[in-house]
Amino acid sequence: MAFTAHSWKSNERSFPLAALLRPQVPRGNYLHLLEEKQRLQLKKFLLHRMFLVANIQANMEKKEIAEYHDQVFQSILKHHLGEAVTGLLLIYPTSVLHILESSSGTLHQILLDYFNHERGETEFWVQKMKIVVISHNIPTRLFMQWCVSVVKVPVLYLDDMTQSQSLEEVVTDFFIQTHKLALYLFKTVKVGTKGPGDSLYQTAPDLLPPEQIIKYLCKSEEFMDPATFLNMYDKPMYITSDSELVWPAPSSF
């Protein structure tokens, strides 16, 4: 009996050391995987891509629009941590298509700036802005810089796609066209240059969405405006579970 007790005490004392000597299986989680991807790509935040369409006042100067956005981007990066903004702004005669790539906080601040100007100014140059889509956690950027291009000569189409196709078909064709345009710019525009300039309607007319599509998307009720999106974004999330519901409701006697 003494030998048995001695052996049990010896095993009890050696158990912590034996546990430390056992091979440990490395365990990770999905957050660590995403952080490692960000580190390898030299990114501090997850990237998101946002498509905006809006009507603008007629005869708006490209320089005025570009300076407005440059000031907004610089102010946001100065006061908020986030990724730099890349993308493309197409300026049509009376509308714009804006594709933005950045971190969620930066995109939120851009929408907030639009909203504050629209609410505070009676004649803000941006009108009826709609968010077509926001793609979260994109693997890589399609645009290496942010650039502006003016579509000087509108392309005329004999068939109006908005009359013969459903909204889903119009949006699908719109995304296919803009994706092809992004790939074209990715291959042809060198980093550090001024971008494609105002000759896109000559070099790649088939890749430019017609302005009638942009205006059609601005009128669609299915897409959110910045005010609706920001209200939903800032609203605290609270989900009532079934276990919190009691029926009949408790009452005091």
pLDDT at 37: 64
Tally Cβ neighbours within 10 Å of residue 142: 18
pLDDT at 45: 83
Q: What is the pLDDT of residues 212-227, one digit of tens each?
A: 999 999 999 999 999 9
Q: What mean pLDDT comes out for the span 171-199?
A: 86
pLDDT at 222: 93
Q: CA 45, 103, 49 angle in degrees (round to 5)?
A: 125
Model confidence band, residue 246 (pLDDT cutoffs 50, 70, 90): low
Q: Is the peptide bond before 210 cis (omega within 30 degrees of 0)?
A: no
Contact partners, residue 154, CB within 8 Å, separation at least 6: 92, 93, 210, 211
Percent of the chain whose pLDDT exceeds 90: 45
Q: What mean pLDDT comes out for the span 131-141?
A: 92
**pLDDT higher at 196 or 241:** 196
Contact partners, residue 149, CB within 8 Å, separation at least 6: 88, 89, 90, 91, 195, 196, 197, 198, 200
Alpha-carbon distance of 236 to 253, in angstroms, equals 35
Tally Cβ neighbours within 10 Å of residue 98: 23
**pLDDT higher at 249 or 110:** 110
Model confidence band, residue 164 (pLDDT cutoffs 50, 70, 90): confident
Instruction: Locate all alpha helices (DSSP H) within the chain, ordered by sequence.
Output: 2-21, 30-40, 62-79, 104-120, 161-164, 167-188, 200-203, 211-219, 226-234
pTM for the whole thing? 0.75
Q: Which helix (H) or strand (E) holds 49?
A: strand 48-56
Q: What mean pLDDT comes out for the span 229-237?
A: 81
What residue spans define the domains of the chain?
Answer: 36-233
**pLDDT higher at 228 or 30:** 228
Percent of the chain whose pLDDT exceeds 70: 72
3-state helix, strand and coil shares in percent for the chain, rounded to the nearest 5: 45, 15, 35
Q: What mean pLDDT comes out for the span 29-42?
A: 64
- CATH of the domain spanning 36-233: 3.30.70.100
3-state secondary structure of 89: strand
Q: What mean pLDDT comes out for the span 183-193?
A: 83
Residue 121 clears pLDDT 80, i.e. is over it:
no
Residue 148 clears pLDDT 80, i.e. is over it:
yes
Least Cα distance to 150 among 192, 193, 95 occurs for 95
Model confidence band, residue 160 (pLDDT cutoffs 50, 70, 90): low
Average pLDDT taken over every residue of the chain: 81
pLDDT at 251: 58
